[in-house]
Structure formats: structure tokens, C-alpha cells
Amino acid sequence: MSFERFTADNATMLLIDHQVGTMSWVQSISQEEMKRNALMLAKTAKILNMPVVFTSSMEEHAQGPLMEELAQELPQAFAERIKRLGIVNAMDDENFARATKAPGRKKIIIAGVTNDVCTVYPALTLVSEGYDVQVVADAGGSPSKMGDEMALRRMEKAGVVLTSTNQLIAELVGSWATPEGTQIVQEVIMPALESHSS
């Protein structure tokens, strides 16, 4: 298999259902770690000026609103988020599918809550449509470790590349010596490491 790096110029980031209610159902990873990783992705996308699509499902119900910290990082993308009415596979929502494809990029980064419901189906759909997909496994989770593992195995078998938050950020940056790389180290990586160790 050939390797073509995901960059800020060739990839779109999808952040799916990072809602306060839905996140509380996750048991396979700590809430704190999952939230920190999702925010690291949003901050990185902001610094690199990447296209980001947010979506949520049934915010007025048990799922709750998207994390308000995401609005602070990417206010425009947050305001333009696709609100789904219970559609499980976000790619079955015409507005989300349109927003995902609008930047015209064949490389898609997905982080979603939960991996076993919200993430798996859009990832499988996009791979079947010929997109290169990376799923950031630790910026989401599932209600059980077994459920999470089954979803990740299913995606990987279908051709999704599984990655972690730090691994993806390093791939996108390419060089820490660039102005953006330096900014990401100072504003994204170091604060996350410090919060992790405290």
C-alpha cells in the first residue's frame, strides 16, 4: 500500500456528535481524555485553517448540546453544524453529506461519539464511496470496551485507517519547525500534556 500523508491542504475533518449527553454514555475511555482529544483536534484544525464539519443528533433530547468548548474554538463551524433528527448514519443526512463533500477533498478525518454507532457508519459509507478515511479512535469511545473494539475492527477491515489524536496531529503538521507547528506545540500539545500529568 502506498502512503500519502494527510495534510491541512488535502483533508477535511468531521467531528460527529460530541454532545454532553452522548459523551456521558461512553465507558471505553475516560470522559476527560476523550474531551481533551476532541478539543485538540478542533484547535489543530483551527490553527491549520482546515475545513471542519460538526454535526449533532437530537440536541433537545438525552443527547444534549455539543460541547460549548467547540464553539469557542471554531465558532463559524459550530454555528453551521448539521443538526440531524435522529439519523444514525450522518452520511444519510443530505445536508451533512453535502457539507462533507463541499471542500472537494478525498481525505477525510473522523472523530465521533460514539465509535460504535456515530462513527462507524459514516466511515464505512465514505470508504465505500472511494474516500481515504482516518478515524481518530481516542477522540471518541463507546458504552463498552467490547463495543468499541468491534467497531474499530469492523472499520479497519473495511479499509478505514485507525489513528490516535497525537499521531494524527503530527501527520497534519509535518514539521514542528513551521510557524503553525510551533503554535500547535505551544497551544495544543503542551497544555494537553500538562493537564494529563496533573
Name the catalytic one among 26, 118, 173, 189: 118
Given a contact cutoff of 8 angstroms between Cβ atoms, the answer to whether 140 and 133 are in contact is no
Q: Is 118 a catalytic residue?
A: yes
- HEC states along 141-155? CCCCHHHHHHHHHHH
CA torsion, points 26, 30, 35, 37, in degrees to nearest 10? -120
Beta strands in the chain (DSSP E): 11-16, 52-57, 82-84, 107-112, 132-136, 161-163
Residue with cell 460514539: 114
Beta bridge partners of 162: 135
Catalytic residue list: 118
